[in-house]
Structure 1
Amino acid sequence: MTIPIDLYARRDCRVTSTAGNCTTNPKAISGTWFPVKAQSSIQDNDVSFITEMEESCNELPLKVDVQVRLHTGSDFIFPGSGITQRTDDSDSPYGGVVYKYKADSSIRIMVPKRENGKASGVSVFSGESSWNGVTQVNETVADVRYRVWCRCNFPTPAFESNWTNIDVKNKNYLEFSHGLGIMPDMVIVQLRHGSTDQDWVTDVMGSMSTSRTGKEKSGLIYAYNSRTVRIWAPDKGNLFNLADGWGLSTDKDTIISGQVKIYVWSYLMNIKSKIITIDSSTSIPNLQVPLPVQLNVDQDILYFTISPTSGENRGFAFSGMGSVQNADPNTQYGGVMYSYSSDKIRLWRPKLDGRHFLVYVSSDWGGGHHTQSAESVIARISVWKAGQICLIPPSQRTTPTTTKSYTTTLMTSYSSINVGNSSVRDLKKEELWYDRSVTVPVLWLVVGGGGLLLIIFLSISIYCLCKEKSSNEVFPHNDADA
């Protein structure tokens, strides 16, 4: 499919609450990388600063992405977070860059800073010996920038909820039926720290949670499948907590009730995706994986999810995280951390020992609904190329199926393409790559009818395809929860 050149330009968002059929470049990218330094006592701006988005959406942004890179000059990007799950009360290390934003185009970015406990927080942390990965990261200094997409920079969502109340006492589990019947291509969940358009908003993200109690337990978890979006809040904890161990003392922001809003996208073409399995047998070299297509880290989107292969949330997709906030061996926790460059993604996972998991939802979250302790997940790595991700026309939408399957060969370096869950002695693995470009030839499937009708239908179809290739249909990916 040829994309009109104007789709690569930033749309005029002065008319709000409008969407197009395709993605565009971000509406705003900060003109500079801002330095941050966890635990800094020299400049307040090192641990917390507020800035104005260089181009406004004139309404609440649809998607905000804070990118973090190591000050040492690495090419890898670590995503910022909209949640905190730790305070400084423990000397167990933790890390992260946290952000929140408003409809008035304000955005505040914060890193760990000791309040009255231990100076154990850093800007980027990969879990040290408690987590496995191709490298270990423990960095106090980092550089950050933001990217912003308005509603007019994205295709129209297939499902959009109203702002819905949530709290840590009486309404700590929510379930939304989006009714699409196929696995969404992307889901965004926003948490509003109140009930007005003037309140701060953060992005809900992560499969990462902990068994910590009281004020040390904060954040939200969400997951989705072909029918439902689930959201868990901590029982008697916080939805969001900056009061202890993050930013400046003036940043205190403890939220026990607020509102959430959900956006769901589906039936999009040209998303390049790759599926791998992660479990206890996944070797460390296989935690670095080539991307399915080259990524422009300035303009494109990397979307990463993991889905348990068993349990009450089998097939539900949970998002990954950009920094480890739980590595204390005395507590239970879960999650998968990731970073990415223009051509590969790196993953970190806890050591799976019966107490630490890839997805962990304990009975202390969401009133005990749909608990999960997963040691095996299917990870999906998707690249959204700016200007190329478009809605599939309704007339071309069909039953989900895999469109391509490739066999690859194991390499011994850390850039190994083999990302299976078996021994590294196996030389060949099969990976699933999904390419929903409208230029992909389609195998027409016929349900019912006799042999004669089948032959006639195939003859007509072949004739039409030869005459007009533009009639090809596009298949969304499989629903993993089958």
Structure 2
Amino acid sequence: MFLKEIRLILLLKVIQHIYCDYLGLPHFESEWLTIEAQSMLSDLYVEHGLASVPGLVEVLVKAVDGPNKDFIFKAIGNGERDDDLNDNYGGIIYIYNDKEVRVMAPKRANSQNMVKYGVAIYTGEYPFWLGINNQKSLQAKVKVRCWKASELLTPCFSTTGHFMAAGSNKLGETYLELSHSLDDYPALVKVRANMIDGLDPGWYTDAQGSALISFDTMRYRHLTGGLKYAYDNNTIRIWTSSWPSPSGAMFTRYDGWGNQNVLTGITTKGLVDVFAWCNLEVFVEETMHFGPAHKLEDFEIALPISVPVSQMIMTSVTVEVEDGPNKGYLFEGVGSAMSNFLDTGGQPCRYGGLIYAYNDTILRIWRPGDVTGAAVCIPDTMGFGTNSQSSQNGKLIFKVYQIYEQAKENAPMRFVCSHFKLLGSDVAYNDNPIDIQKMTSVPLCYQACSQHSACATYAFHNETCQIYNTTDASLLFTKKQSQVWGLKFRATNP
């Protein structure tokens, strides 16, 4: 077994002088929705109902078949390439505004290729990608989660409205370096851009930690770019394409993504926001070294305890770079491969990203295997080559954050009865209860539940929202001002 470090932080562990915060429950969470590349299901519009731009958005991608069935992958914020190259590519991309989240899978638009290369889940192919259980699947499930900005945990650092422009001849519009003055690594960092031009003005795109594809020149069928970022204990660095306009892109989803089949319309300009959160409660943390420099490399890790991926947690995978101008910086992992085997490629890397997926008990990774690929790739065509990076080796940091507080023992209790509407069977119900009633005793709650065909009973402390399961008196989880039915514990009437 190769060198790896595992650190388990147990629930309710008390760390002296350290106060842990919680992001809080998402204010919107969708069901698992079917998405399918190369079909009319390649484009989903999911209304979040927040009446404002979410402060934080997460789109999870679950494999429904193949060797990674039920594993969770990451959606990303940029299409990176179109459908015209004779190379496989894949993944799920998303953008969002004050009304909805748009989620897209690959779909051939005008490509002359008879083969439809784009898929929903793609982990690459040997020898260009290394890892176990390589997969290429057209169909997947997606789940959208949104946090309302006004009710989200206050960031320990934030700055908004920084103008950036792909294709600009000004360094300061294609590369930003911002000091966060925290003197420590933030627990979670998100960078996004409010797009100004292109097909999606007013929509937001989230930045990624690596370029997935890079070209030696920009021309028809060879347009890429995006918004990339990294951070350390003092600074946040942000890159976008510096390839001369109109070829450089901050965001692209045209010609090969979703159902609209538009052939032009890249986004080049946006207002960039940065948010960082500190001292988040960590449920599990694992680190491991990977890359050709580590002879006993592993691509699958058994988690030390079962991680409740179906419950209210948030995961984070970052890569700490071990060399180059960004040594010590953390770059976010990615959710899919976008191969570049035919083009001579950009410098110092022609494709990149560290792909990861997880379930309750296992974390899997895939990394570039060719010398032209890199787990962290920041091409010379971004930020005029400022702090460009190509790293095959690194340290992976996997964290699972608990986003809600556990109830304390011996809290005074009241009872809440949640009524759910049947969906045509004795075991399936819709997400939201059709009624919530607070009761003073368990019998009264059961009596109210008997009016409906489904019921979930909780002991509930009205002031602190501390919740207990009345069946076995075990503690459930909660957060102040959260919605009880967001926990989705269900039971049928006898």
Q: Normalized against structure 1, the TM-score is what?
A: 0.71
Shift of 1:22: 2.5
What is aligned with 1:238? 249
Equivalent runs, 1:51-450 vs 2, <5 Å:
51-53=46-48, 56-72=49-65, 74-104=69-99, 106-117=100-111, 118=113, 119-129=116-126, 130-151=128-149, 154-170=152-168, 171-194=173-196, 199-212=202-215, 213-214=217-218, 216-236=223-243, 237-249=248-260, 253-270=265-282, 272-282=284-294, 286-298=298-310, 299-328=312-341, 330=343, 331=345, 332-353=350-371, 355-388=372-405
Deviations 1:256-288 (A, max 9, x none): 111110001123344532111011155797111
The alignment partner of 1:240 has SS state of coil
Question: Structure 1 CA distance, aligned partners of 2:21 and 2:63?
Answer: 35
Q: Tell me whether 1:27 sits opposite 2:23 in the alignment.
A: no
What is aligned with 1:473? none
Q: 1:249 to 1:57 in 2, by over 3 A?
A: closer
Question: Structure 2 CA distance, aligned partners of 1:376 and 1:201?
Answer: 32
Q: 1:282 to 1:141 in 2, by over 3 A?
A: farther
Question: Structure 1 CA distance, aligned partners of 2:389 and 2:297?
Answer: 27
Question: Structure 2 CA distance, aligned partners of 1:71 and 1:269?
Answer: 30
Partners of 1:102 and 1:198 within 8 A in 2: no
Q: Which amino acid aligns with 1:138?
A: K
In structure 1, runs of 5+ residues without a counterpart are 4-19, 390-482
Q: Which amino acid aligns with 1:79?
A: K
Shift of 1:207: 1.7
Q: 1:128 to 1:187 in 2, by over 3 A?
A: same
The alignment partner of 1:116 has SS state of coil
The alignment partner of 2:160 has SS state of coil
Partners of 2:64 and 2:139 within 8 A in 1: yes
Shift of 1:190: 1.1
Shift of 1:63: 1.6
Question: Structure 2 CA distance, aligned partners of 1:309 and 1:285?
Answer: 16
Question: Structure 2 CA distance, aligned partners of 1:108 and 1:275?
Answer: 33
Deviations 1:39-65 (A, max 9, x none): 12xxx3x11121212xx3332212211
Shift of 1:144: 1.4
Count of paired positions: 363
Greater displacement, 215-224 / 90-99: 215-224
Question: Structure 2 CA distance, aligned partners of 1:279 and 1:2?
Answer: 35
Deviations 1:292-339 (A, max 9, x none): 543222321110000110110001100011111234264312210011
Partners of 1:295 and 1:385 within 8 A in 2: no
What is aligned with 2:475? none
The alignment partner of 2:298 has SS state of helix
Question: Structure 2 CA distance, aligned partners of 1:146 and 1:175?
Answer: 30
What is aligned with 1:38? 37
Q: Which amino acid aligns with 1:381?
A: F
Partners of 2:109 and 2:261 within 8 A in 1: no
Q: Aligned-pair RMSD on alpha carbons?
A: 2.4
Question: Structure 1 CA distance, aligned partners of 2:285 and 2:324?
Answer: 25
Equivalent runs, 1:451-466 vs 2, <5 Å:
none
Deviations 1:388-444 (A, max 9, x none): 49xxxxxxxxxxxxxxxxxxxxxxxxxxxxxxxxxxxxxxxxxxxxxxxxxxxxxxx
The alignment partner of 2:164 has SS state of strand
Question: Structure 2 CA distance, aligned partners of 1:22 and 1:175?
Answer: 28
In structure 2, runs of 5+ residues without a counterpart are 1-10, 14-19, 407-494
The alignment partner of 1:211 has SS state of coil
Question: Structure 2 CA distance, aligned partners of 1:218 and 1:113?
Answer: 20
Shift of 1:101: 0.9
Q: 1:36 to 1:270 in 2, by over 3 A?
A: closer
Question: Structure 1 CA distance, aligned partners of 2:204 and 2:265?
Answer: 12
The alignment partner of 1:114 has SS state of coil
Partners of 1:134 and 1:284 within 8 A in 2: no
Shift of 1:124: 0.7
The alignment partner of 2:286 has SS state of strand
Q: 1:284 to 1:137 in 2, by over 3 A?
A: farther
Question: Structure 1 CA distance, aligned partners of 2:203 and 2:288?
Answer: 36
Partners of 2:229 and 2:239 within 8 A in 1: yes
Question: Structure 2 CA distance, aligned partners of 1:62 and 1:140?
Answer: 30
The alignment partner of 2:189 has SS state of strand
Question: Structure 2 CA distance, aligned partners of 1:63 and 1:313?
Answer: 26
Q: 1:344 to 1:220 in 2, by over 3 A?
A: same
The alignment partner of 1:306 has SS state of strand
The alignment partner of 1:241 has SS state of coil
Shift of 1:386: 2.5
What is aligned with 1:475? none
Question: Structure 2 CA distance, aligned partners of 1:227 and 1:76?
Answer: 34
Shift of 1:202: 1.6
Q: Which amino acid aligns with 1:26?
A: P
Q: Which amino acid aligns with 1:249?
A: Q
Question: Structure 2 CA distance, aligned partners of 1:292 and 1:102?
Answer: 38
Partners of 1:292 and 1:383 within 8 A in 2: no
Question: Structure 1 CA distance, aligned partners of 2:130 and 2:151?
Answer: 37
Q: Which amino acid aligns with 2:120?
A: S
Question: Structure 1 CA distance, aligned partners of 2:131 and 2:339?
Answer: 15
Q: Normalized against structure 2, the TM-score is what?
A: 0.69
The alignment partner of 1:378 has SS state of strand
Deviations 1:127-165 (A, max 9, x none): 112101111110011121211222356432110002211
The alignment partner of 2:82 has SS state of coil
Identity of aligned residues (%): 29
